[in-house]
Structure 1
Amino acid sequence: MNTSQSISRPVIYLAFITGIVLLIPLVAMQFTNEVVWTLSDFVIAGSLLFGTGLTFILATKTSENKMYRFAMGLALGSSLFLIWANLAVGIIGPEDHAFNLLYFGVIGIGILGSLFTRFKAYGMMFVLIAMSFAHVILLVAALLTNMQSVPSSSVLEIFGVNGMFIFLFTTAALLFRYAEKKEQST
Structure 2
Amino acid sequence: MDLPERARTALAERCRRTMEAGPVPAAVLLPLFLRNGTYHLLFTKRTNHLLHHGGEISFPGGALNPEEEPEQGALRETWEEVGIHPTHVEILGLLDDFYSIHHYLVTPLVGLIPGDYPYSVNPDEIERIIEAPVSHFLDPAVLRIEPRQWQGRSFMVRHYDFRGDDIWGLTAAILAQFLEIVFTDELG
TM-score by length of 2: 0.26
More strand by share: 2
The structure having more radius of gyration, on CA atoms, is: 1
TM-score by length of 1: 0.26
More helix by share: 1
